[in-house]
């Protein structure tokens, strides 16, 4: 009995039929994954078209350098997993093991960097929820002498403003320049909790002369960021132990040029994970 025939399940006629079924099954599974991610990409597209300035402001919080490093890690991991498939097809089982080990190492490195990014955003209170704040991005762009904080309420033309726990009251003249995501708006259009910069005249620090606000839709952008990258990271957490199991099988000599279906199927899954990130990186990191 050949090496391939030894791995043929009883409900298949031969090894070729079994491989074709496994290959088609994986492609069908990946098609459902495309639909799964596609819904999130569609939602992202709709809201980005409605709030382009908020999306650009939110992208300023992304570390493009770390995102680029992670992109490089995944692209190289696609190469190593492809080399693993080629090694399996040519009967070099130990090389399959080492190529998959390298792929796993790159994947773990990716997750480590992503974990660092998540921790940094949580520390900066950029995680969607009751503690979310945009003070950092406003402080970065605020003019000298401006007050940076959150609006508490509006009473006629008086603005109650919270700056790091200290409440300030400003009178807003009728001709004051008010912008929301760089677009002119009325004071009544701003909602409590909106992060903003209030610039005042040196001669009258209680009278606002310019208000620059960032809409709460930046929080929506970050919600998409955590949801989409978190789902992608979950797929990697599933893929790494799968590749590890295949690597152990390769080390034990389970594969040959006649039978290496698990390596081929595992490689397809990993390529899909890499392709998803190739789309996520520019959409989330390079918006602005």
pLDDT at 25: 79
Please tell me which residue, 170 or 135, carries the higher pLDDT value: 170
Residue 140 clears pLDDT 70, i.e. is over it: no
pLDDT at 65: 95
Tens of pLDDT along 89-99?
A: 898 888 999 99
Residue length of the chain = 288
The residue-averaged pLDDT of 241-268 equals 90
Q: Is 243's pLDDT higher than 80? A: yes
Task: Give whole-number Cα distances, 38 to 24, 168, 217, 228, 272, in Å.
Answer: 21, 45, 21, 11, 13
**What is the reported pLDDT for 275?**
95
Average pLDDT, the chain: 85
The answer on pLDDT for 121 being more than 70 is yes
> What confidence category does residue 209 fall into, taking pLDDT thresholds of 50, 70 and 90?
confident
Decide: 170 and 159 in contact? Cβ < 8 Å: yes
Instruction: Output 206 or 15, whichever has higher pLDDT.
Output: 206
Specify the pTM: 0.76
> Domains, the chain, ranges and CATH?
19-130+218-285 (1.20.120.80), 135-217 (2.40.50.140)
E strands present in the chain: 147-155, 158-163, 166-171, 177-180, 183-184, 195-201, 204-214
Q: Is residue 214 over pLDDT 80? A: no
For strand 166-171 and strand 158-163, is the pairing parallel, antiparallel, or unpaired? antiparallel
Q: Which residues contact 127 (CB under 8 A, 6 or more apart)?
A: 121, 222, 226
Percent of the chain at pLDDT above 90? Answer: 42
Give yes or no for residue 1 having a pLDDT over 50: no
In the Cβ-directed half-sphere of 48, how many Cα atoms lie within 13 Å? 19
């Amino acid at each position: 009995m050949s090496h391939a025939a030894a791995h043929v399940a009883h409900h298949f006629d031969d090894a070729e039929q079994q491989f074709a079924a496994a290959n088609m099954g994986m492609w069908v599974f990946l098609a459902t994954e495309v639909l799964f991610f596609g819904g999130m990409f569609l939602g992202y597209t709709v809201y980005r078209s409605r709030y382009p300035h908020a999306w650009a402001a939110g992208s300023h919080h992304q570390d493009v350098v770390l995102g680029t490093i992670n992109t490089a890690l995944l692209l190289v991991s696609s190469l190593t997993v492809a080399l693993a498939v080629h090694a399996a097809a040519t009967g070099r089982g130990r090389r399959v093991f080492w190529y998959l080990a390298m792929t796993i190492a790159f994947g773990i490195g990716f997750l480590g960097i992503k974990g660092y990014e998540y921790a940094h955003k949580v520390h900066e209170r950029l995680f969607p929820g009751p503690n979310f704040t945009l003070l950092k991005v406003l402080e970065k762009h605020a003019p000298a002498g401006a007050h940076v904080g959150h609006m508490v309420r509006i009473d006629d033309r008086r603005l109650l403003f919270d700056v790091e726990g200290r409440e300030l009251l400003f009178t807003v003249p009728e001709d004051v320049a008010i912008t929301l995501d760089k677009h002119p708006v009325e004071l009544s259009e701003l909602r409590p909790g909106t992060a903003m910069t209030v610039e005042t005249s040196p001669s009258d620090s209680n009278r606002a002369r310019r208000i620059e606000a960032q809409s709460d839709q930046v929080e929506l952008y970050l919600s998409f960021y955590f949801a989409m990258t978190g789902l992608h990271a979950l797929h990697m957490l599933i893929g790494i132990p799968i590749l590890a199991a295949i690597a152990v099988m390769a080390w034990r000599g389970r594969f040959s040029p006649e039978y290496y279906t698990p390596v081929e199927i595992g490689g397809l899954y990993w390529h899909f994970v890499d392709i998803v990130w190739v789309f996520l990186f520019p959409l989330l990191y390079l918006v602005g």
